[in-house]
């Protein structure tokens, strides 16, 4: 899968099934790797913080989660890309992990969510190897605590670690753990509460039309209104600016590919 420069942030392009296969296959190489599930919020965070942009670009896999990102790939690069959303990846990866006996670990999230997750996994994926679930303190960890977490995850035998800390915290955490945690890490943000039914997912027509964000906004207006108002507006501005520049300069789509 090629990595493409999308408004200053790299993202992979390819069939959905190829992303699933690549992540699962990565667990077999016994290397410390991480995957970012990118949406508009992440792209804008990367635009505002070049150090964070580097963290995303250095990820081994960056999936185009948000529907607007697939639109941008079409507009700027002529690529017809299907959405590779965390809410779809999570259950599909768990299904493959159960089938291939890949031990999984969940790091982050509130304890009550992790308790419900354990119950859900036992019911939905009875043969899944659960290496552990851990809810870290909601504060900066000491070096001793940090080292203990690394040790516990490595000793658990986990090969696939789902990180539930939210953007940008989970991406920064995974980058800091690359080379320390001997597993494939993937930031899942809000996908876990949706999977276990704590939060409802938007209807299919809203997902396909790109209005899933609006459904989430209606569920959590207090938390998400400011984020969406700022990020969506800035994303539209950046996409329009890039498209107009492309028209004026006559830049070809292939010129923006990155290795």
What is the share, in percent, of the chain residues with pLDDT greater than 70? Answer: 85
Comparing CA positions, the residue from 162, 158, 207, 224 lying closest to residue 188 is 162
142 is in which domain, residue-wise? 3-258
Q: What is the number of alpha carbons within 13 Å of residue 113 lying toward its C-beta?
A: 21
Beta carbons of 56 and 187 less than 8 angstroms apart: no
Question: For residue range 147-162, what is the model confidence (pLDDT) as tens digits?
Answer: 999 999 999 999 999 9
Residue 103: which residues within 8 A CB-CB, separation 6 or more? Answer: 97, 129, 130, 131, 156, 157, 158, 159, 160
pLDDT grade, residue 225 (50/70/90)? low
Strands laid side by side in the 160-164 sheet: 61-64, 33-38, 184-187, 160-164, 104-108, 130-134
Q: What is the pTM of this model?
A: 0.87
pLDDT at 218 > cutoff 60: yes
- What band does 255 get if pLDDT is binned at 50, 70 and 90? very low
Domain count, the chain: 1
Nearest Cα to 71, choosing from 84, 83, 59, 86? 83
pLDDT at position 198, please? 75
Question: For the chain, how big is the Rg over CA atoms in Å?
Answer: 18
Q: Tell me what pLDDT residue 253 has.
A: 45
Res. 202: pLDDT tops 80: no
> CA triplet 113, 23, 7: central angle to 5 degrees?
90
Six-digit token string for 30: 């016994």
Give residue 125's pLDDT band: very low, low, confident or very high (50, 70, 90).
very high
């Amino acid at each position: 899968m090629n990595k493409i420069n999308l408004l200053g942030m790299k993202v992979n392009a390819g069939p959905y099934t190829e992303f699933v296969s690549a992540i699962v296959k990565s667990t077999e190489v016994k290397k410390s790797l991480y995957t970012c599930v990118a949406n508009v919020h992440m792209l804008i965070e990367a635009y505002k913080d070049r150090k964070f942009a580097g963290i995303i670009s250095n990820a081994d896999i960056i999936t185009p989660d948000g529907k607007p990102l697939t639109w941008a790939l079409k507009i700027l690069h002529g690529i017809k890309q299907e959405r590779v959303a965390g809410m779809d990846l999570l259950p599909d990866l768990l299904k493959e992990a159960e089938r291939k006996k890949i031990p999984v670990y969940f790091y982050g999230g509130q304890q009550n969510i992790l308790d419900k997750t354990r119950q859900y996994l036992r019911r939905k994926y009875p043969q899944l190897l659960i290496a552990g679930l851990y809810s870290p303190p909601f504060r900066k960890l000491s070096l001793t605590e940090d080292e203990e977490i690394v040790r516990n995850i490595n000793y658990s035998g986990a090969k696939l670690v789902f990180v539930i800390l939210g953007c940008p915290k989970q991406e920064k955490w995974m980058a800091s753990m690359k080379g320390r945690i001997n597993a494939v890490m993937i930031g899942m943000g809000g996908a876990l509460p949706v999977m276990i039914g704590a939060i409802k997912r938007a209807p299919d027509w809203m997902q396909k039309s790109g209005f899933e964000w609006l459904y989430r906004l209606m569920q959590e207006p207090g938390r998400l209104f400011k984020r969406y108002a700022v990020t969506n507006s800035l994303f539209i501005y950046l996409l329009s600016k890039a498209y107009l520049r492309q028209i004026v300069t006559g830049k070809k789509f292939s010129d923006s590919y990155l290795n």
